[in-house]
Amino acid sequence: MPILGSIIKSAIDLRGALQSEKSPIASQQEVLENLLDTAKDTAIGKYYGFSKILASDDIQKNFSQTVPYFDYHQMEAKWWCQTVKGLRDISWPGTPKYLARSSGTTGSSSKKIPVTDDMIEAIQTAGMKQIGALANFDVSPDFFEKEVLMLGSSTNLTKQGPFLEGEISGISASNIPNWFRGFYKPGEQIANMDNWDEKVNLIAKHAKEWDIGALSGIPSWMELMLKKVIAYHNAETIHDVWPNLQIYTTGGVAFQPYEKSFNQLLSHPITIIDTYLASEGFIAFQNRPDTTSMKLITDNGIYFEFVPFKPEYILDDGSISQDAPALTLAEVESDTDYILIISTVSGAWRYLIGDTIKFTDVERAEIKITGRTKFFLNVVGSQLSVNKMETALREIESKFNAKIPEFTLAAVKIDGEFHHHWYLGTENTLDASEVAKSLDEILKAANNNYKVARSKALKGVKVTPISPSVFHEWNASQKKKGGQVKMEKVMDEDKFSKWEHFVKSL
C-alpha cells in the first residue's frame, strides 16, 4: 500500500474540506488594494497617485479612470526600461532578480518581463493551489508517490547585468521547492540543457529509469517528446514505458487541436488538466473534473479587468484604444469574449497580456482562452477570432475523419481579390478544394460578419494541407524548438510571404 501517497492525499483532501475561500469578487478588491498600497511609493505609484486612488470611495473605478492601459511596448518604453537599467522602485518596490523572455508566437522580438520575488512566491502558491485541487479529481493515493516530468525551457538562465534571463517555465523550474526536487524529472542536469533535440534524446534514453505519474508542458512539444520516447524504446504507447502515467497538465495553447493525436499515444485515457501560466504570472487552472474551463486565481497577486472584445477597440498593432471600457469581475457576463487586462506583483499595470477569454461560469470565475488580440483576422470585415477558427477546424476534423493539430492563415490577394489562405497541418490525405468549401460554409453559418464579408470583399477560401512537422521546423527557424514557442495562427501578408517561401524550400 502506498503509505506516503495516502498521507499526502489525505492532507490534500483535508485541505480542500477546510479551505474557506472569499468570493472571487471580494478577493479581487483586496488584491487591488494590496497592489496599490505596496507600490504607492514607486515611480509609477507616485506618477499616477496610488495613495489618492486608495483614499477614494470607489478604488476600482478610480484606478481604471486614472491609470491608462499598457501593452508591452508602452510599459517597457516608459517604465520597465528603467528597471532593466538597474534603477530601483520603478513599477514595483526594489529590483527584480529575473527577466522572463516571452517567446510567445514566432517572429516577434523577445520581450523581457520583470519577475519579482513576489511573483515567484505567487507562482509557487498557485502551484500549491493546483495540487490542492487534485482533491476534486479521481486520483489514486499511489499517484502522489510518482514522479512528474516537466517539459519546459532550459533552467540554464542567462546572466545579463544584475538579472537572470530565461523563459518563465525555466525560471519557475529553477525555483522549485526543495520538497519537490525528489519528484521532479528530467532532473536538473537535463533541464539545464539549451538544445531541444539533445534534451529530448536524453529524456528518451533515461525514460525507463523513471516512474512518471504526471506530465506538464505545451501540447505540441509534449507530443513530439512522447513520440521520441515511444520510438526509442520500440513501444506501442507511452504507457508501455510509463505504466503509471495518470495526469497531463497542459497549457500555453488550447489542447483540443492536439487531443486526437495525443490520445493515440496512450493505451488508456488519462486526466487532462488545463493551466494558464504566462510570462506575466500564473493566471488560472482547471479546478474540477466536470469542466474543461479554468478558474481564475483571484486571490494571489493579480488583479483582472476585462475589455469587451470588439473590433472598434482593437488597434492595427493588436493593442487597444484608451477609451475602451474595462469591466471588473463583478460586471462581466458569461459567453462574451473579453480582452484580458492584468495588474500584478511584478509591476505590470493595466497590462494587455494579449489573450482573449470568455467566462463559462461567472460565479466560479471560470474561463476559457478564446484567442489572441493579434490573431484577430478582420482585414475585410470577417471578424474571425482564433476560437471561431479552431471550432470550425474541429468540425472539419469530424467531417473528414482527420487530425489537424496545427494551422495558420492570412488574408492575401489572389488575382487582385482578397482570399483567406489556410495552411492545415495534417498527416491525413485531404481534398483541398473540398475542405476549403466545407470550411467556408461552416464559417458562414457560425459567423454573420464572415458571411457578409464573403458576399463582398472576401472572394474565396484556399486550403493547402502540409505535414505538421513543417510548423515545428518553421518555429525552429524563427526562434528555437521547445519551451514556450507557439505558432502564429494569423499572419500579415509580409510574414505569410516568408512562410510560403519557407514551405516551398522544404
Each residue's pLDDT, cut to its tens digit, for the chain (506 residues) gives 354 444 444 444 545 544 546 899 999 999 999 999 999 999 999 999 999 999 999 999 999 999 999 999 999 999 999 999 999 999 999 999 999 987 544 344 578 999 999 999 999 999 888 888 888 888 877 888 899 999 888 888 889 889 999 888 888 888 887 777 788 899 989 988 988 889 999 999 999 999 999 999 888 889 999 999 999 999 999 999 999 999 999 987 778 878 888 999 999 999 999 999 888 999 999 999 989 899 999 999 999 999 998 878 887 666 889 999 999 999 999 989 899 999 999 999 999 998 889 999 999 999 998 877 766 666 666 677 777 888 899 999 999 999 999 999 988 888 888 899 999 999 999 999 999 999 999 999 988 878 888 888 888 899 999 999 898 888 878 766 665 667 788 888 888 999 999 999 98
Is the backbone peptide bond immediately before 2 cis, with ω within 30 degrees of 0? no
Distance, CA of 341 to CA of 356 (rounded, Å): 9
Nearest to 127 by CA among 83, 172, 167: 172
Burial class (CB in 10 A: 0-12, 13-18, 19+), 63: buried
Alpha-carbon distances, residue 367 vs 29, 129, 294, 306 (angstroms): 19, 17, 5, 12
Query: Do 51 and 39 touch, CB atoms closer than 8 A?
Result: no
> What CATH class does 377-505 carry?
alpha beta
Alpha-carbon distances, residue 489 vs 224, 369, 412, 477 (angstroms): 20, 14, 14, 17
Burial class (CB in 10 A: 0-12, 13-18, 19+), 69: buried
- pTM of structure: 0.82
Nearest to 275 by CA among 301, 234, 247: 247
Determine the length of the chain. Answer: 506
